[in-house]
Amino acid sequence: MSSQPQSASTHVHQQTAAIALPLHDEDQARADFYALFARLLLAPPDDALLQALAGADPIVAAGEFALEDAWLALTQAAGVVDAPAVRGEFDLLFVSTGDPLLNPYGSLYLSGHLNDVSLARLRHALQHLGLGRAPGVGELEDHLGALCETMRLLVQGGPGFARRPLAAQKLFFEAHLRPWYAACLADIAAADGANFYRVVARVADAFLSIEAQAFAVLDPLEQDADPLGGARAPADILSA
């Protein structure tokens, strides 16, 4: 597994079914959460990111106390660890010359095998969106961090890639994240040697559970609904 921060997917070309309007604050918060989880799951945080997390304000998530409490625990954990310690934990959990302790890939959770049919379906969906794995990236597209990065792009857009409506976000989430993310995060939280990443898994699970619940009741016509229920993530954490 790679030890450098990088996205496992990038835009290829812009599709026509896209939104060009400015992001609502709530959608920006959702994009920020997805970006943070992609960053933490694909590579260990450096000292700057840990310091930014430690100094982040509490969040208010419209009564979603699991997310509020988990976020507070993450900011506290970030304040008492250093980058070398977290890098060692990351390597222990996710990096190995043989079989890593944890393999956060969708196909493994859905079928018990890497590179299985679910990965082929995901690649087809990404191709339809105009997305694909960036050159030189070692992680497969169904890595949980890579899928969080894909969701960020769908919510926020990027250079040459306009964001997608909620209906498209829901379709991707339901097909490629919802069936397995909870089991994967539970494995991370329960893994021997997981300390900082136990807290990361708790925050990610709380956030993705809100997304899952909101998407489940989303009326296809309500494309400006707010899946996060008004939660706001602290700004500029990833740019610290």
Q: Spell out the SS3 assignment of 58-89.
A: CCCCCCCHHHHHHHHHHHHHHCCCCHHHHHHH
Quick check: is 118 in a domain? yes
Quick check: is 7 in a domain? no
Quick check: is 240 in a domain? no
Structural domain including 91 reads 48-216
Q: Are 197 and 184 spatial neighbours (Cβ–Cβ below 8 Å)?
A: no
CATH of the domain at 185: 1.10.3480.10
d(CA 175, CA 205): 17
Quick check: is 28 in a domain? no
Q: How many domains does the chain have?
A: 1
3-state secondary structure of 158: strand
d(CA 64, CA 40): 22
Quick check: is 82 in a domain? yes
Quick check: is 236 in a domain? no
Residue 169: name the closest of 34, 46, 62, 57 by CA. 34
Quick check: is 136 in a domain? yes
How far from 140 is each of 134, 162, 163, 180, CA to CA, in Å? 10, 23, 23, 16
Report the chain (240 residues): mean pLDDT per 10 consecutive residues.
38 37 81 97 97 93 86 97 97 86 96 92 95 88 97 94 94 97 98 97 97 87 48 51
Quick check: is 197 in a domain? yes
Classify residue 205 as exposed, middle or buried by CB count within 10 Å of its CB (0-12, 13-18, 19+).
buried
pLDDT of residue 108: 95
The model's pTM? 0.84
pLDDT of residue 100: 87
